[in-house]
Amino acid sequence: MHDPLWPQGGQSQPVLAPTGDIQPLIAMGKKLQAEATKHGIHNVFDDGGYKELLLLTLLDLKKLGRTGDDAADSLGRQYEIKTVARVSSRGVRKTSLGITTEHTLTIENIERYRRVHLWIVAVFDQAAPESIYEIAPSRLETFFGEWERKIRDQISRGVEGSAPPHLNNPKIPLKFVINNGVCIWPLLAQDGVPRQQTLTE
């Protein structure tokens, strides 16, 4: 069958014509990437780089390596950063939110979670942070202990597989963090009155 894009003896003919002006978008992207590079984020539009840039800048933290803890402060204390999306990829606003962990959560992950100084949990409403919380690992021990028991049960039963014994991305309800953590941003409402928590996750 003859392919119209590949005329016999000739070159392929394009179907799409690049007519839109993307230079303003590229300029904005380059400016954002330049700022992100200062923080060690080399692909700001990949893997949550933009959100990470906002949090590092807001809280004056330094990005750590790709594996292990996410950030450290000027005193060397280390932090686990989790972001939660208010709006789904289909544009639907979610009313019940959960904090994801790891696709393959192992005992080593749990031990690392326990060692950090604080967890930082940021809820994003598309491009802007809606609220940011800090919570001590000790407050999350209920979850850590439950996950560890389940994984050790796998180990004791000799569950085999290509991956080490693990759980598949267990979640922490955002409501638990709201009730047991501290809201660190925003601190005040527009009228200057201490912000009251109105979220219902």
Tell me which residues are annotated as active site: 70, 80, 82
CB atoms within 10 A of CB 133: 23
Q: How open is the CA angle 73-75-70, to the nearest 5 degrees?
A: 30
Question: φ and ψ at 187, to 5 degrees?
Answer: -85, -35
78-85 and 118-125 beta bridge pairing: parallel
CA–chain centroid gap for 139, Å, is 20
CA–chain centroid gap for 43, Å, is 14
Whose CA is closest to 79, among 65, 66, 61, 97? 61
Question: φ and ψ at 58, to 5 degrees?
Answer: -60, -40
Question: φ and ψ at 92, to 5 degrees?
Answer: -95, 130
Q: Return the percent helix, strand and coil in the chain, to nearest 5.
A: 30, 20, 50
